[in-house]
């Protein structure tokens, strides 16, 4: 018999499409296993403000198809402090929470790990971020939907670019991860992709654009991974001006975070939500649900605390090869 009788859950960091499916799976698996589910509003901020409430089957009805997170989310700087995490642990203990499920990215997992090790709070992680940049898992909830949203936007930009013989810089999200950028570049036939955290090779960029023009291409799409701060494309635009290449900038920004989750995100998050609860009940606490070799498995939390750019060299080569 498991000692876990009450599980609390929260979503933390940037929201991602599919988080609601994970919430639903956690709550409904708790119910089917005969244990209580408690929702926490607004991530760690809501936990500190004791915004806890009981959840039942109906409270997660009709949410599978909805973007965002019904629990809402936050970025909580205060959680970097030990005494704040102690306060959070006291609130969880006071409310008799036996395990906390955290749905979020690497920052949220770091908070969960410290909360657990410092205060003996059992936690489970479900990777939810459009960036697909958490170590230990091949997939994070929301990535596929974000990529699809960006592809749809780039296809539309291509229509107007071709009509006006224009070059466009289309900036996609991902902070220091180029995962979205590379996949979007391959799927839209972009002329080139500029990676996060790397200096732009202007000779190569200009040569790529001019080579296309010489063989009769009338438009170019350059996908830019945003990197540390959004708006990097404007610097690139200015520099291209110096080479007499005029361009337009389109920053897709937060449009990529919203919208109804695609089937992959609904499916993976449903399995992850279910396995997080079942894993905890089987005693596999302080684990994260991860995708490895196409299967959802459990991995120790400490192996999922760093960012990783799933930068696959073969994908970069593929994008370049097909865009000649």
Of 50-58, 77-85, 106-114, 127-135, the segment contacting ligand F6P by CB under 6 A is: 127-135
Interface with ligand F6P includes 12 (CB under 6 A)?
no
Interface with ligand F6P includes 130 (CB under 6 A)?
yes
Q: Which is nearer to ligand F6P, 16 or 116 (CB)?
A: 16
Is 43 within 8 Å of 76 (Cβ atoms)? yes
Interface with ligand F6P includes 126 (CB under 6 A)?
no
The site that binds ligand F6P (CB under 6 A) totals a number of residues, namely 11
Closest CA to 299 of 289, 314, 309: 289
Q: What is the contact mask toward ligand F6P in residues 211 to 230, using x (rule: CB under 6 A)?
A: ---------------x----
Active site residue 131: yes
Of 1-9, 53-61, 167-175, 301-309, the segment contacting ligand F6P by CB under 6 A is: 167-175
Nearest-CB residue for ligand F6P: 14
Is 127 within 8 Å of 288 (Cβ atoms)? yes
Encode 241-254: b = buried (16+ Cβ within 10 Å), e = exposed: eeeebebebbbbee
- Among residues 106, 131, 133, 144, the one annotated as catalytic is 131
Of the candidate residues 11, 14, 145, 279, the single one contacting ligand F6P (CB under 6 A) = 14
Is 308 within 8 Å of 134 (Cβ atoms)? yes
In the complex, the smallest distance separating the C-beta of residue 183 from ligand F6P, rounded to whole angstroms, is 14
Encode 92-108: b = buried (16+ Cβ within 10 Å), e = exposed: beeeebbbbbbbbbbbb
Of the candidate residues 131, 171, 191, 309, the single one contacting ligand F6P (CB under 6 A) = 131
Give ∠ CA 178-235-194 in degrees, rounded to 5.
Answer: 25
Cite the beta strand spans of the chain per DSSP E. 6-11, 36-40, 52-55, 99-104, 123-127, 167-172, 192-194, 220-225, 247-251, 287-292, 295-300
Query: Which residues have a catalytic role annotated?
Result: 131
Q: Which residues bind ligand F6P (CB under 6 A)?
A: 13-14, 75, 129-131, 173-175, 226, 257
């Amino acid at each position: 018999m498991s000692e876990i009788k009450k599980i609390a859950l929260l979503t933390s960091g940037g929201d991602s499409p599919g988080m609601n499916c994970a919430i639903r799976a956690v709550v409904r698996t708790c119910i089917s296993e005969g244990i209580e589910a408690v929702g926490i509003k607004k991530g760690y901020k809501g936990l500190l403000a004791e915004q806890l409430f009981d959840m039942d089957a109906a409270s997660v009805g009709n949410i599978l198809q909805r973007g965002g997170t019904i629990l809402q989310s936050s970025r909580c700087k205060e959680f970097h402090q030990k005494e704040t995490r102690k306060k959070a642990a006291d609130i969880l203990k006071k409310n008799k929470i036996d395990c906390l499920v955290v749905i979020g990215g690497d920052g949220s997992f770091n908070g969960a790990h410290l909360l657990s090790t410092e205060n003996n709070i059992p936690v489970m992680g479900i990777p939810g971020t459009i960036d697909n940049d958490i170590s230990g898992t091949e997939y994070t909830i929301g990535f596929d939907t974000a990529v699809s949203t960006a592809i749809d936007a780039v296809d539309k930009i291509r229509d107007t670019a071709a009509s006006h013989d224009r070059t466009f810089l289309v900036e996609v999200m991902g902070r220091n991860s180029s995962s979205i950028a590379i996949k979007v570049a391959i799927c839209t036939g972009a002329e080139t992709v500029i990676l996060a955290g790397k200096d732009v090779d202007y000779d190569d960029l200009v040569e790529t654009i001019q080579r296309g023009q010489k063989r009769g291409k009338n438009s170019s799409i350059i996908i830019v991974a945003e990197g540390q701060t959004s708006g990097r494309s404007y610097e690139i635009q200015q520099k291209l001006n110096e080479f007499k290449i005029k361009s337009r900038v389109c920053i897709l920004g937060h449009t990529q975070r919203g919208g109804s989750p695609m089937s992959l995100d609904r499916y993976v998050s449903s399995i992850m939500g279910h396995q997080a609860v079942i894993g905890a009940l089987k005693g596999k606490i302080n684990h994260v649900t991860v995708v490895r070799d196409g299967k959802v498995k459990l991995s120790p939390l400490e192996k999922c605390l760093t960012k990783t750019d799933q930068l696959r060299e073969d994908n970069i080569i593929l994008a370049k090869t097909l865009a000649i």
